[in-house]
């Protein structure tokens, strides 16, 4: 086995192993479909082993591919760690910070960005609004604002605050809901598995506060 594998080829291999198809891997890497195939073939020739089973609908790592995948992921984590540490050693904060949050929190963050930009003029902020959490380990984002801590190694988490919920209804709805669980009274259900189940739907509706409209 040739141990002088090019990191660019390994990065292509890693992306194909994660994405499963040449098309999605090429899109993720920003290269052409043939480039991905050519890089993988070159890596297989250099290593002297077949790395993927080419099934009709996707590429699946062989045993040799699985072994190389584990080592390549470890290399990726080391490279990302070096990047994070070197960024922290800089005397002047500059560059791009990518923040991922759900739709509601992204709107809240966006309203406060002008003031933050005044204090950190050399920082460019990118806000991604998505209910699916970004993967910090793969640098899909630099900061993640969520209502639960993701199951990722090597991250630093801080509690930012609390979020309050309220159920709004007309007079007839409030009368009918009193004493019943909020979920039953409102027909509420959670279909997003990435969101932790909140506690308020099981709480009884015990009081109503009039709100002027």
Q: What is the pLDDT of residue 3?
A: 47
Q: Give kind and range of the element (H or E) at residue 173.
A: helix 171-177
In DSSP terms, which residues pair with 55 in a beta bridge?
A: none
pTM: 0.46
pLDDT for position 143: 84
Q: Is 175 left (phi over 0), alpha (psi -120 to 50) or beta?
A: alpha
Contact assessment for residue 10 and residue 72, using Cβ atoms and an 8 Å cutoff: yes
Give the closest residue to 37 by CA, choosing from 55, 16, 53. 16
Task: Walk along the chain (213 residues) in steps of 10 and give the mean pLDDT of each run.
Answer: 67 92 91 92 92 93 93 81 60 74 84 82 83 75 81 76 70 59 54 50 57 56
Nearest to 52 by CA among 4, 5, 20: 20
Q: How far apart are CA 117 and CA 123, in angstroms?
A: 7
């Amino acid at each position: 086995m040739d141990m002088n594998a090019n990191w660019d080829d390994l990065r292509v291999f890693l992306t194909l192993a994660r994405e499963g198809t040449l098309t999605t891997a090429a899109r993720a890497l920003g290269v052409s479909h043939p480039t991905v195939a050519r890089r993988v073939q070159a890596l297989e020739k250099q290593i002297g082993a077949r790395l993927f089973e080419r099934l009709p609908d996707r590429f699946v790592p062989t045993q040799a591919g699985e072994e190389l995948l584990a080592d390549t992921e470890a290399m990726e984590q080391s490279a990302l760690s070096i990047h994070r540490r070197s960024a922290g050693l800089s005397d002047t904060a500059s560059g791009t910070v990518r923040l991922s949050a759900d739709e509601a929190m992204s709107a809240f963050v966006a309203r406060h960005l002008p003031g933050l930009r005044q204090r950190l003029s050399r920082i460019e902020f990118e806000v991604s609004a998505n209910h699916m959490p970004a993967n910090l380990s793969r640098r899909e984002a630099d900061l993640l604002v969520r209502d639960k801590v993701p199951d990722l190694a090597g991250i630093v988490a801080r509690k930012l605050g609390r979020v309050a919920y309220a159920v709004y209804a007309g007079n007839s709805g409030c009368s009918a809901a009193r004493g019943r669980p909020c979920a039953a009274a409102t027909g509420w259900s959670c279909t997003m598995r990435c969101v932790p189940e909140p506690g308020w739907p099981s709480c009884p509706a015990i009081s109503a506060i009039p709100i002027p409209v």
